[in-house]
C-alpha cells in the first residue's frame, strides 16, 4: 500500500461534503507532478485529506476507490483523476503548525512543496499522522 495526501480548500470542497457524497472524482488537478502522483495511486491506497488555506489541517482518511482515468473537466491536455472514498474522520485534526514542528512530519512534501495538491507520504509519516489524529493504523 502507498500513502498520499490531497489538499482541498474547505470552501471549495470540504471533508464534510466528501462524507455526504460518499465518494468523489478527484478532478481539476493541473500540475504535472500532482498529475503523476494521481497516476501512481493504486486502488486501496490510503489518502490523507488536508484542508488548505483557511483550516490548514489534516482532517480525515480516505482510500483510492478507482485508479486514474481521464479527467472529464479538462478542456485540453492529458489530465487524470482518481475516485476517492472517505474512510475515517480524525478525532483530532493534525494542524500544519504541528506538522512543521514534528520530527517525522516536517519533511513532508506539504511543508517543502506547499503548492503541490497531491503528494506522496512515507509509511513513517502516515503512521505518525494516524497517531497524532488518535486514529488506529
For 31-68, write each residue's pLDDT tens digit. Answer: 999 999 999 999 999 999 999 999 999 999 999 999 99
Q: What is the rounded distance in angstroms from the CA atom of residue 80 to the CA atom of residue 39?
A: 7
CA angle 22/74/33 to nearest 5° reads: 85
pLDDT score of 69 more than 80 = yes
Flag whether pLDDT at 82 surpasses 60. yes
pTM above 0.75, yes or no: yes
Residue 137 confidence (pLDDT) above 80:
no
The predicted structure's pLDDT at residue 134: 86
136: confidence class by pLDDT, cuts 50, 70, 90: low
**Model confidence at 9: pLDDT above 80:** yes
| Strand arrangement, sheet containing 24-26 | 24-26, 80-95, 57-70, 46-51, 3-8, 118-121
Task: Please name which of 54, 62, 60, 58 lies closest in space to residue 9, comparing C-alpha atoms.
Answer: 54
Domains and CATH numbers, the chain: 3-122 (3.10.590.10)
Placement of cell 460518499 in the chain: 22
Amino acid at each position: 500500500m502507498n500513502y498520499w495526501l490531497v489538499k482541498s480548500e474547505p470552501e471549495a470542497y470540504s471533508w464534510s461534503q466528501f462524507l455526504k457524497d460518499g465518494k468523489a472524482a478527484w478532478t481539476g488537478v493541473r500540475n504535472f507532478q500532482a498529475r503523476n502522483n494521481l497516476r501512481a495511486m493504486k486502488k486501496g491506497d490510503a489518502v490523507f485529506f488536508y484542508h488548505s488555506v483557511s483550516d490548514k489541517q489534516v482532517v480525515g482518511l480516505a482510500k483510492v476507490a478507482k485508479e486514474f482515468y481521464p479527467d472529464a473537466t479538462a478542456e485540453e491536455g492529458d489530465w487524470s483523476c482518481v475516485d476517492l472514498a472517505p474512510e475515517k474522520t480524525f478525532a483530532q485534526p493534525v494542524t500544519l503548525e504541528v506538522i512543521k514542528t514534528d520530527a517525522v512530519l516536517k519533511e513532508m512534501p506539504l511543508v517543502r512543496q506547499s503548492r503541490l495538491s497531491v503528494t506522496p507520504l512515507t509509511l513513517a509519516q502516515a503512521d505518525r499522522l494516524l497517531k497524532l489524529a488518535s486514529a488506529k493504523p
